[in-house]
Structure 1
Amino acid sequence: MSDRDPCGPVVAGAWSSTDPGATVTVYIWTQVTQGQHEHAPCPVHVSEDPVRRREWTIQRRNICRLFGESDHHPHYRQLKTLLHPLIAQLSDTIDRNKTPRSGPW
């Protein structure tokens, strides 16, 4: 896990109804992979619709920024506190169960 902020700036007024849970998975993905949120996988049901994809992209950036600024947002600080043990457990499970892949992926 990393304490760095992988997110871009918050875009004002950019909250949509795409799927708030999907954006939390982006935060988890950035912590587990130590990657940038822009590279996080987009849910299929969102990626198939250009309007929803645009909304999700903005929402993803905003939620990630809010997690990064959790000192100013107590509810995100509390959520991070709840998520970090799960993120650590997920990272450990993935690291322990690494197996070579076969096939096209």
Structure 2
Amino acid sequence: MASRSASHLRRSAAVRLARRARGGSIIDAAQFLGVSTGAHARFDNVLKHRLKDKGLALTFEAALDNLATELSRHPIDYAHRRRTLDEWAIPPQIWETEIVHPGLTRSCKFAADDRKRLACSAYVWARVAHGEHLFAPTPAEVRNDADRKTIWRRDATTVFNLLKRAQRYPRYLMLKELLDAYADRLADSLGCQRSTGQEQRSLAN
């Protein structure tokens, strides 16, 4: 229940921040973020009732105002990142040369197969796009195969949860550090492309 409440809070905050930045309605903001308007209405209603019951509604809105002000000082175009990474997955060459190096496979007997590459892609997407891995776009390699898509979603959630608790699973700690470093380089690359408006070589390819 606590995990679900945290998800409601996070998603509602994201939609409300988008509305503050773009103007328009809550529905417009939800659609802009790719959040189902029906789903948003459900979790937003739940959140409103819980905040009201605890007397925290005004505190929540004030926190959003403060966060919006802070974000406006260092704007990041997450919509650009998500558009660029639609159907994206970690490129095999980068997976083999930057992520799954001999030190990793020797130290934790890591299964460096293609399923793991696609599952880890959802984790990288979530870090770069500042979204939830559940909303990561389906990689092009499995999009048209219902069975493989189902397996990918299950693998992505399993890997994401293991990486979130990497301190408990030492064999995943090195993997997390490598993925985080790659995700940060990818985010920087996308930011440079957007700010200069020029064709540049991207870590996304």
Q: TM-score, normalised by structure 1?
A: 0.71
* 1:67 Cα offset (Å): 0.5
Moved more, 38-47 or 68-77: 38-47
Higher gyration radius (CA)? 2
Tell me the equivalent position of 1:35: 131
CA RMSD of aligned residues (A): 2.1
Tell me the equivalent position of 1:56: 152
Tell me the equivalent position of 2:122: 26
Percent identity between matched residues is: 25
Give yes or no for the alignment of 1:91 onto 2:182: no
Where does the alignment leave 5 or more consecutive residues of structure 1 unmatched?
Answer: 1-5, 7-16, 100-105
* 1:20 Cα offset (Å): 1.3
Compared with structure 1, are the counterparts of its residues 93 and 69 closer, same or farther at alpha carbon in structure 2 (3 Å cutoff)?
same
Aligned length in residues: 85
Give yes or no for the alignment of 1:82 onto 2:178: yes
Per chain length, whose mean CA-contact separation is higher, i.e. which structure has more relative contact order (CA < 8 Å, sep 6+)? 1
Aligned partners of 1:29, 1:46: CA distance in 2, in Å?
16
- Which structure has the highest helix share of the two? 2
Aligned partners of 2:149, 2:182: CA distance in 1, in Å?
27
Q: TM-score, normalised by structure 2?
A: 0.38
